[in-house]
Amino acid sequence: MNKLKIPAVPSIRRLPSYMYIIRQAEAEGQEFISGTVIAEELHLEAIQVRKDLAITGIIGKPKKGYPIKALIDAIENFLGWNTVRKAIIVGAGSLGTALAGYQEFKSHGLSIVAAFDSDPGKIGKTIHDVPVFSIDFIAEKIKELNPVIALLTLPSSEAQAVADNIVKAGIDVFWNFTNVKIKVPPHVLVEKEDLTSGYAMLGVMMNTRDAQ
């Protein structure tokens, strides 16, 4: 997998949470928001918020904070949310169906144009208005629809073989929700989403709280 040098990964992961607070302030008619307000809402240090926002190139004004509209534009531009990117879901099971119905993707520029599965009972139907096609025709549909991202939600045992076919068909960006680490050429980007790790962290937090 290609090892890109991504700056400030923890900061990037915090930016969507900041955006939620900033959008709330915008809805309330505010023109400026301070790093301190964002920090207090999320139980963070204000200096951390300011450092995180600095990676977007935005500069706040003394005693006023950040102009909200400019701040939203800066974050969306940095995260690539102001560019519409077409994606496919490979695996139309429970997780794939849930992702297809997640409306926040649309507001962040991710447009899911198709889903694929090997189950005859799902092929030809739709999940949240997303058409489901046979995985046997995934190469043809990729050429037809021109997606740039593949979300992998299929059984882990099938992930590598399917990923190989998808790369051959022209997609070089994967959001991998399976339990396996797929092997891809150096130019291909992969973000592995490990839901089990998230739950593991939550479990430790609960155990720690209960022991106190």
Residue 36's identity, in one-letter code, is T
Flag whether 156 is marked binding.
no
Flag whether 91 is marked binding.
yes
Helix (H, G, I), strand (E, B) or coil at 32: strand
Contact 88, 142 (CB under 8 A): yes
Using only C-alpha atoms, the chain has a radius of gyration, in whole angstroms, of 20
Flag whether 96 is marked binding.
yes
Helix (H, G, I), strand (E, B) or coil at 47: helix
Output the six-digit token pair for 99. Answer: 């992702």
* Percent helix, strand and coil across the chain, each to the nearest 5: 50, 20, 35
Long-range contacts of 119-122 (CB under 8 A, 24+ apart): 119/92, 122/92
Vertex 1 angle, CA 154 and 5, to 5°: 125
Flag whether 94 is marked binding.
yes
Q: How many other β-carbons are positioned within 10 Å of the β-carbon of residue 59?
A: 11
Annotated binding site: 91-96
Annotated binding site for NAD(+): 91-96
